[in-house]
């Protein structure tokens, strides 16, 4: 029987204006940092990070992230950070920036600091990265020796991010318990190759409870850029609870379906990671033979947060069976996480995708949405 394994970051700090204190947390760690952000995030938070480091006599090499967590981008920035003599790598921004930064820190054996500017995904806490091609197609996962050393979330900055990013994070986090319970039920392995601990199970379950309880309030708070208690709860659920829950609980069909969508071209790639995971979660519920009541609970929740629930919503209204077959085939390859929770054929996944679309359309018709 496999061992139970639980993994986590060394330290997690969340609150208003926490970026101002980043130098205090790092002053005993090193004196040369590489700060990585894209062109938009440099103005939102990157320069604030550099200024806060200067106050504690920590020098920074400012590195522009080009937008895709590809092998080529990882290699390019690793060399630049190495040339700068960086012993601290600080990723500032969204999921792909953070995943790239983790890869660079691992290559340099540097202290890893993660500064998300939105609560849009659960990538910040994990010891893995999702790697894409330069064109945005999913290529695989990279796994690292350890989780990030420090994660800092400034909820004043996160509250000012577009509300769509918060709901995308909610959608990503909503998959956490759905997938973890499937892994547990099927006797599958988590993302670090072990069985799910009781701690991970409890965290994943609590993640979903918090989202159902505070998700609407947090969404309304984000619309007016207010860092309310509800928003603080959801930021923690999206980031810490979901991060620990997915990595130590395990992924299953929802994220495999998301990865499968990268097999297609077109407008679907304008959706966020979480928006595609939302539909993938509904597909997993369909595969599980969930009750009408349970499926409608998720559909209704997603619709209330302006998240996609039909193929039309994810820009695949005119998709043919052969198109969806490509998605299901990619989601069902040997290396995919769907096998942690299920033993299904490509044909069964195709049927579940079309059935999910029909369930959601019937729900909208039922409630005149």
Q: Where are the domains of the chain?
A: 11-157, 163-366
pTM of the model: 0.94
Which region, left, alpha or beta, applies to residue 140 given φ > 0 means left and ψ of -120 to 50 means alpha? left
- Closest alpha carbon to 158 in 236, 67, 268: 236
Q: Which of 149, 154, 172, 357 is catalytic?
A: 172
Known active-site residue 255:
yes
Percent of the chain with pLDDT over 90: 95
Known active-site residue 233:
no
Query: How is domain 163-366 classified at the CATH fold level?
Result: Dehydroquinate synthase-like, alpha domain (1.20.1090)
Q: Give the sign of the dihedral formed by CA 339, CA 343, CA 345, CA 347.
A: negative
Q: Which H, E and C letters describe 267-287, residue by residue? A: HHHHCCHHHHHHHHHHHHHHH
> Token digits for 345?
């054929």
Mind listing the pLDDT tens digit for each residue in 105-119? 999 999 999 999 999
Q: Which of 99, 154, 233, 273 is catalytic?
A: 273
At CA 42, angle to CA 241 and CA 272, rounded to 5?
45
Mind listing the pLDDT tens digit for each residue in 185-230? 999 999 999 999 999 999 999 999 999 999 999 999 999 999 999 9
Known active-site residue 273:
yes
Domains 11-157 and 163-366 share a fold: no
Residue with token string 């299920």: 342
Q: Which of 122, 154, 233, 255 is catalytic?
A: 255
Q: Which of 38, 154, 233, 258 is catalytic?
A: 258
Known active-site residue 216:
no
Helices (H), 84-162: 95-108, 155-159
Angstrom distance (rounded) from CA 307 to CA 170: 10
Return the CATH number of the domain spanning residue range 11-157: 3.40.50.1970
Q: Is the pLDDT of residue 140 over 80?
A: yes
């Amino acid at each position: 029987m496999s061992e139970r394994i639980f993994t986590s970051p060394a330290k997690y700090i969340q609150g208003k204006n926490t970026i101002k204190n980043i130098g205090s947390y790092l002053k005993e760690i090193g004196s040369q940092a590489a700060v990585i952000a894209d062109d938009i995030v440099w103005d939102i938070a990157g320069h604030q990070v550099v200024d806060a480091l200067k106050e504690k006599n920590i020098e920074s090499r400012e590195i522009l992230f080009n937008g895709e967590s590809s092998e080529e981008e990882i290699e390019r920035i690793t060399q630049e950070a190495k040339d700068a003599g960086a012993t601290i790598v600080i990723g500032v921004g969204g999921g792909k920036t953070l995943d790239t930064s983790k890869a660079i820190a691992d290559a340099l054996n540097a202290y890893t600091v993660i500064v998300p500017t939105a609560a849009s995904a659960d990538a910040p806490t994990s010891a893995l990265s999702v790697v894409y091609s330069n064109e945005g197609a999913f290529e695989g996962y990279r796994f690292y020796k350890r989780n990030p050393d420090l994660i800092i979330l400034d909820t004043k900055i996160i509250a000012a991010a577009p509300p769509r990013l918060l709901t995308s994070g909610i959608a990503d986090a909503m998959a956490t318990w759905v997938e973890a319970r499937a892994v547990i039920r099927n006797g599958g392995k988590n993302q670090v190759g072990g069985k799910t601990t009781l701690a991970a199970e409890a965290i994943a379950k609590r993640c979903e409870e918090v989202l159902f309880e505070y998700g609407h309030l947090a969404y309304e708070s984000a619309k007016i850029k207010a860092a309310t208690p509800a928003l603080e709860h959801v930021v923690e659920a999206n980031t810490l609870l979901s991060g620990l829950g997915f990595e130590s609980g395990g992924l299953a069909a929802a994220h495999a379906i998301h990865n499968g969508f990268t097999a297609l071209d077109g407008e679907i790639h304008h959706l966020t990671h979480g928006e595609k995971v939302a539909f993938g979660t509904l597909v997993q519920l369909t595969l599980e033979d969930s009750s009408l009541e349970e499926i409608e609970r998720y559909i209704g929740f997603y619709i209330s947060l302006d998240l996609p629930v039909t193929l039309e919503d994810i820009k695949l209204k005119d998709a043919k069976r052969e198109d969806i077959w490509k998605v299901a085939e990619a989601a069902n390859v040997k290396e995919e996480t769907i096998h942690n929770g299920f033993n299904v054929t490509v044909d069964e996944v195709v049927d579940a995708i079309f059935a999910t679309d029909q369930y959601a359309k019937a729900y909208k018709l039922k409630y005149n949405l």
